[in-house]
Structure 1
């Protein structure tokens, strides 16, 4: 099995949105909250800025994720020296491949080469299954934030509390 992490290309946008649709359907089955969809321009900007990624297994897209390098609405005064991982989606055919651990390996390599001190993530504060999974993957739980300002963030951030996680490098 060959695993590769690559930047997504403009030609991947339909696949990315297909993955988001699959994730929303899954979220509706297993949790009481779900994503509300995403703006095409936001994803296109991430692709153009080399912040949207795909994981290929033997040449097949198995997972997608996005990153940013600032996240002040979520992280407030702690927003510095970090790579923030967002919207990890695994295709149902590839569940169980531990892609979060692969993304962490990739992010550590990226961070070392770019003088970044933290790898960070967030999820709904009441999603106990993901809270446990992220700590099992090596993230430290660092608290909860209740979203007040959400301008520029996807709709599902409105009026929620998030659990915050980080790995200190």
Structure 2
């Protein structure tokens, strides 16, 4: 077995924007080749602006291997109100846009980033890490179940394809092959 790479996690900065958008575009193409229409038809400047805003708000992290950004995740405290109700569901940290360079698939780096994100939630005192995924992307739903998430509910909202809601208890989950370049994020 090859030695696991040590990734450096750091908050994304403005100069990372094109790389984060590139990871998103790479994921779009990969999904489309598999017949999954997630992010493809509706992805436009609005989506790019969301990425820019997440970076400016210090919510997006990048993961580097030997100086190359190979993955990204966005973590914040703002639930998508179409799917989550903070009054009913309680506080949580929310995971969005976990993207990994496709040439790094199969190395369990996505699982490492999920565990790192769970740890971030625990360190900040949140009881849960939550996310929502597309209702028809059953492979991704299975992936998150395999990562220890529980399916909470599936919500159908007109005009929205997401709505399969998952959460995982936020317990300290150190990840030996990810080191933090930034001590604290503004989440």
Query: Normalising TM by the smaller chain, what interval?
Result: 0.7 to 0.9
1:36-47 aligned at under 5 Å gives the runs 36-37=42-43, 38-47=46-55
Q: Which runs of 4+ in 1 moved over 6 A?
A: none
Normalising to structure 2: TM-score of the pair?
A: 0.77
1:167: Cα distance to partner?
Answer: 0.6
Q: Which runs of 5+ in 1 are unaligned?
A: 149-157
Structural RMSD (CA):
1.8
Tell me what 2:117 maps to: 107
1:59: Cα distance to partner?
Answer: 2.0
Q: Select which of 8, 19, 24 maps to 1:15.
A: 19
* Aligned residue pairs, count: 160
Q: Which runs of 5+ in 2 are unaligned?
A: 171-187
1:95: Cα distance to partner?
Answer: 0.7
Tell me what 1:165 maps to: 166
Q: Which has the higher contact order (CA 8 A, sep 6+)?
A: 2
Q: Which moved more, 1:75-84 or 1:52-61?
A: 75-84
CA displacement 1:88-145 (0-9 Å, x = unmatched): 1111111112233222322233222221111011111222211111111111111101
Tell me what 1:89 maps to: 99
How many angstroms apart in 1 are the aligned matches of 2:96 and 2:138?
18
Normalising to structure 1: TM-score of the pair?
A: 0.85
CA displacement 1:44-81 (0-9 Å, x = unmatched): 22112211111112221111121221212221354531
